[in-house]
Structure 1
């Protein structure tokens, strides 16, 4: 089969022929990939930012946002059948540890992470587990929703955390209107009554978000923090959901919080340096977000089937993986890039 393989950090991956994955355990599921999402994390992987955290041995296959059809399965799999359309939760989990039993799949102590710690889904086939596949409504096409497996799941997970704080009259700031941000806006509209303020450095990205109904869009031009303060009567927002997490956005987020406000950090790459006295005196909160659990993904797919969450995508054939990577890295890609095997 064809696969997008990373051989060396700081070098572009290669599309090459590799052996198809095989069933080795009773709970294994092999998915025929219909769409594999391209994520900024893939750029960070190529740059080597995940070397110490992933412990992966090169070469390996990229791709952690995957959807397709059940191709083959182990003898103990009972929740799906061959031919079913599925989206794949990013993690392969054990189901037995404390985190799994609590429903915190993303913190499983025995997990594997296809596309990060083991071979991923930028290929014709992906090996995963029965615990990781969510059977889809037949109306959903894998290539149209593949990026919801991580980008969508992470955005939904963060918004779901914030939802309990966002009662009528509150304000939520979304930093970054791109691949994750446009999903986060839709999740906020579906789950909360909050007034939504969206910030991005691209006017084109802001214009695109207007179809999803934010209350205000602000260009990140150096005056955006002051504009948020103006919209919030000088108080700041109850929640700032940061899909950028670098290049100064992380510091802007803190400046836009009201007292007892919460900074939900999804994007990464930067560093925060906040005096502890400021955290205490204003009682602000910093909340990290790592993908989401199985139920989060299932709930998100329900919203998608209901038409309340849609992805803005650009399709690329698997052979054009490096073109897609270039477009994402250069800022040409709007929404999510999806690789589609032939």
Structure 2
């Protein structure tokens, strides 16, 4: 099969060829519960850039060369002898983590903390290819309204945004405020999820006018340009008190300190993007009683819930499609901020 393969790390992301388009062996059934997927779409994620940079080399047990791509959807091509819930030809979306289902975390539905798992595209070959090896427990059948190439990025970007926005929606009341930092691939989904699950006023911050236009199209009530005055603007919009919830999809640079500054006393700061540091004096934690919440992708049931919203038209993805052989262009465009929404590779 054809695949876009990572052969070496590049901390600068300046090489012309970050991945190599080449012929590699097809994946094979290795376990009775394995499923081979014919990839219909593979999302291109900022995490993929971090993988290329080598940021994950000490956090994932992988040996180069290998195939990235952890946001995948397609059609069932082959099934292991124990598989009963899907059949060849079914259109499916893949939860990003393939788990055994035996550990206590799995039985509680806490997929991301499973003791036995593999993460295609992170610590195993992923979906930047014509075929992908996944597992029966990871698959969700798609309704006729949703095509694999249109929904692939939901498996990480969409699911991560859904998980954070769902947490926030549980305590947000009408008349309260939610701030979203970053209206990109995750943020534009998070806006729609908040609109679907709660009635809080949504304020979105981004450096890009185009991203803010997309945010308003997705249902944001207020758009704030990130020009150094955003904390003051948020305080003005929230009558000086800050927001009850801040969801930070950037997580680096000044967004962390600003996000905490925008969070009102007793409020919640949800950190999704990564690369920066959370630094706050303990006395400030005590006196403000702010809650800082980490978010790691999401569970299988949450992906089912997100697909239900997408099927009803309450959440949609803005995507830009590239052929698999143009994976380098997609990665470069993402790195240079030229993609508003999500990029998807089509084999």
TM-score, scaled to structure 2: 0.97
Secondary structure, aligned partner of 2:246? strand
Q: Does 1:75 align with 2:56?
A: no
Structure 1: segments with no counterpart, 5+ residues = none
RMSD of aligned alpha carbons: 0.7
- Match of 1:240? 246
Equivalent pairs counted in the alignment come to 341
1:42-121 alignment runs, 5 A limit: 42-121=48-127
Distance 2:261 2:224 in 1: 15
Structure 2: segments with no counterpart, 5+ residues = none
Distance 2:169 2:216 in 1: 21
Q: How big is the shift at 1:251?
A: 1.0
- Match of 2:4? 4
Deviations 1:117-152 (A, max 9, x none): 000011000001000000010121111110001000
Name whichever of 11-20 and 288-297 sits farther off: 11-20
Q: How big is the shift at 1:79?
A: 1.1
- Match of 2:217? 211
Distance 1:121 1:321 in 2: 12
Equivalent residue for 2:147, pick from 131, 141, 146? 141
Secondary structure, aligned partner of 2:8? coil
Q: How big is the shift at 1:212?
A: 1.4
Deviations 1:140-188 (A, max 9, x none): 1111110001000000011111111111121100000011000000000
Deviations 1:57-97 (A, max 9, x none): 11100000000000000111111111010000000111111
Distance 1:310 1:172 in 2: 20
TM-score, scaled to structure 1: 0.99
Q: Does 1:170 align with 2:170?
A: no
Structure 1 residue ranges (4+ consecutive) displaced by more than 4 angstroms after TM superposition: none
Q: How big is the shift at 1:111?
A: 1.1
Deviations 1:232-278 (A, max 9, x none): 11110010000000121111100000011111111011111111110
